[in-house]
């Protein structure tokens, strides 16, 4: 994976390597289903309900696989059918990259930029699929999703710039994961903004504007049914693994593979996941103009301050700034 | 076909269709989602689009205006799916039987376009949430 290795990549033995490639995709999907169960269960507990059983996400996907697929008459068939696969492939590729960096430290220069591109892929697939479905509700959802993507991409990239400055200009996830950037003022600001951007990427409340069930009846995915809908659901559940994992690697000092480091890594992941779920459960949905203003004006200002602090900190050698 | 039905029983996503009900049954349906009854325990979830639904919860004696819409919603629902007639009006038009604007009941309208449709009845004015849960359980164990 990548010719420009940065020295420290430790070689895995061949059987271990083969095992990794066999396990990684199904493992990620299973982890995603468990993560989505945690999301639903914690939401239920917050609302004093009992919540669904552990296997519920699996039943949902199995049932959708067995249902009829309806394609609208005026839809652009190829794009309509391909979009869920493209989105799912993008998220799986991102998570394979993250696992590979965690397990074998096979990182290459600039992989954080590749990760940022891969994270846009699900939103792009959603936009393509919904605009191919020839439904007015989906069109409203598409326009909202496009605005939302433009809204959160800018602060997200700015937040990663803070991290890159803090870690001394390294564009390499394995090197970035050695630092716990969040333990500084600028890192904390960047982490909070990135958390909200991830909230919007996952399509969770308060930024579920494109999928709002009450106004546009599930907007972007309104025309999808059967196995194609299962594709979207799997994409969303897999994003619940990949995006918090990415945040953990960039801001919270990454995962270890042995003993306490592994336990700490799992703890950090669950912490980020539960934070996201709690934000989801304690906020009402915002309008699209409010979301744009929030991301560009408030998050933008916070991140400009964070970048200035990080630049001062790294030039004067003050780590906590 | 069997694993599909088994999975369907564990995860029923419902879409709510009002075909001219007085809103009483609708309130009782919303009651099902509250923490007191919490039907998400059984995998039952309210969805916003008939394309995602496995069951249609139909309330109201079907009016002349609502009948074509009900047929369209039934056509848009991917099969296999179950139709639940919730309340006395949906089951047999109730006190509106002789009304000039009534073309129902629900099963007649659905059977016009699909004679093999799976239809379950939960009578009552309105039916209690417990009755609806019991109706759903009975219908699912029958298929």
Q: What is the pLDDT of residues B17-31, one digit of tens each?
A: 999 888 888 998 888
Output DSSP code: residue A221: G
- Taking contacts as CB-CB distances below 8 angstroms, the residues of chain B near A141 are none
Tokens of A305: 């301050």
- Considering only CB atoms, A224 lies closest to which of B51, B54, B79, namely B51
Q: Which residue has the higher pLDDT, A7 or A180?
A: A180
Range of the domain at A44: 21-316
**What is the distance in angstroms between the CA of the first residue and the CA of the last residue of chain A?**
35
* Domain membership flag for residue A299: yes
Helix locations, chain A, DSSP H: 14-46, 56-65, 77-104, 111-131, 136-166, 173-176, 185-202, 213-216, 226-251, 259-281, 288-293, 300-316
Please check whether residue B10 touches A, CB under 8 A: yes
Percent of chain A clearing pLDDT 90 (strictly above): 30
Nearest to A146 by CA among A128, A164, A162: A128
pTM: 0.87
Residues of B in contact with A130 (CB under 8 A): none
A103 in a structural domain: yes
- Judge: A225–B51 Cβ closer than 8 Å, yes or no: yes
Does the pLDDT at position A3 exceed 50? Answer: no
Q: Is residue A6 part of a domain?
A: no
Token pair of A240 as six digits: 């619940």
Give me the residue label for tokens 């605005």: A147
| A1 lies in some domain | no
- Using CB atoms, which residue from A59, A218, A225 is nearest to B11? A59
Q: Tokens 């991830």, residue?
A: A198
pLDDT tens readout for residues B83-134:
999 989 888 888 888 889 898 788 888 988 888 888 999 998 889 988 988 8
What region, left, alpha or beta, does residue A31 occupy, with left being phi > 0 and alpha being psi -120 to 50 degrees?
alpha
A219 part of a folded domain: yes
User: Does the pLDDT value for residue B1 go beyond 70?
Assistant: no
For chain A, the domain total comes to 1
Q: Touching check for B41 and chain A: CB below 8 Å?
A: yes
Nearest to A64 by CA among B131, B54, B69: B54
Region A88-100: what's the mean pLDDT?
Answer: 90
d(CA B127, CA A248): 50
Check whether A11 has a pLDDT greater than 70.
Answer: no
Residue B43 and residue A56: Cβ atoms within 8 Å? yes
**Which domains are assigned to chain B?**
2-135 (3.40.50.12280)
Question: Per-residue confidence at B36, pLDDT binned at 50, 70, 90?
Answer: confident
- Dist. CA A75–CA A295, nearest whole Å: 33
Domain presence at residue A266 = yes
- Judging contacts by C-beta atoms under 8 Å, the chain A residues touching residue B76 are 70
| Cβ contact B132:B29 at 8 Å | yes
Measure B115 CA to nearest chain A CA, in Å.
18
The position carrying tokens 């689009």 is: B49
For residues B39 and B77, is the Cβ–Cβ distance under 8 A? Answer: no
The ipTM value here is 0.86
């Amino acid at each position: 994976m990548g010719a420009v290795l940065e020295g420290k990549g430790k070689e895995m033995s061949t059987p271990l390597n083969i095992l990794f490639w066999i396990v990684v995709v199904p493992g990620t999907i299973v982890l995603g289903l468990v993560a989505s169960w945690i999301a639903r269960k914690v939401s239920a507990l917050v609302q004093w309900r009992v919540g669904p059983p552990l296997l519920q996400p699996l039943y949902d996907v199995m049932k959708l696989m067995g249902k009829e697929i309806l394609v609208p008459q005026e839809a652009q068939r190829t794009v309509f059918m391909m979009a869920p696969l493209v989105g799912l492939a993008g998220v799986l590729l991102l998570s394979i990259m993250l696992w590979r960096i965690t397990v074998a430290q096979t990182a290459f220069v600039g992989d954080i930029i590749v990760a940022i591109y891969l994270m846009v892929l699900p939103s792009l697939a959603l936009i393509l699929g919904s605009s191919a479905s020839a439904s007015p509700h989906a069109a409203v959802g598409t326009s909202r999703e496009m605005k939302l993507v433009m809204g959160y991409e800018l602060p997200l990239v700015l937040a990663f710039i803070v991290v890159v400055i803090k870690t001394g200009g390294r564009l390499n996830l394995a090197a970035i994961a050695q630092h716990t950037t969040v333990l500084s003022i600028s890192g904390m600001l960047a982490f909070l903004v990135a958390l909200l951007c991830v909230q919007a990427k996952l399509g969770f409340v308060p930024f579920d504007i494109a999928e709002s069930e009450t106004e546009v009846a599930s907007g972007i995915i309104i025309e999808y049914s059967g196995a194609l809908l299962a594709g979207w659901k799997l994409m969303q559940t897999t994003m619940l693994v990949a995006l918090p994992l990415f945040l953990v690697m960039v801001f919270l000092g990454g995962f270890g593979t042995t003993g306490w480091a592994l336990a700490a890594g799992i703890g950090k992941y669950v912490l980020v996941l539960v934070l996201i779920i709690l934000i989801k459960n304690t906020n009402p949905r915002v309008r699209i103009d409010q979301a744009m203003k929030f991301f560009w004006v408030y998050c933008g200002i916070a991140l400009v301050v964070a970048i200035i602090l990080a630049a001062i900190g790294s030039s004067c050698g003050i780590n906590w700034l | 076909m069997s694993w599909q039905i088994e999975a369907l029983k564990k995860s029923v996503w419902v879409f709510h269709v009002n075909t001219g009900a007085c809103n009483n049954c609708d309130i009782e349906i919303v009651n099902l989602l509250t923490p007191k009854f919490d039907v998400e325990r059984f995998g039952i979830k309210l969805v916003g689009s008939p394309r995602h639904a496995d069951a249609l919860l139909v309330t109201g004696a079907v009016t002349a205006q609502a009948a074509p819409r009900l047929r369209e919603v039934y056509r848009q629902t991917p099969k296999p799916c179950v139709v639940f007639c919730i309340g006395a009006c949906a089951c047999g038009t109730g006190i509106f039987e002789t009304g000039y604007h009534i073309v129902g009941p629900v099963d007649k309208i659905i059977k016009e376009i699909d004679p093999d449709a799976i239809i379950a009845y939960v009578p009552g004015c309105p039916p209690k949430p417990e009755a609806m849960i019991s109706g759903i359980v009975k219908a699912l164990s029958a298929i």
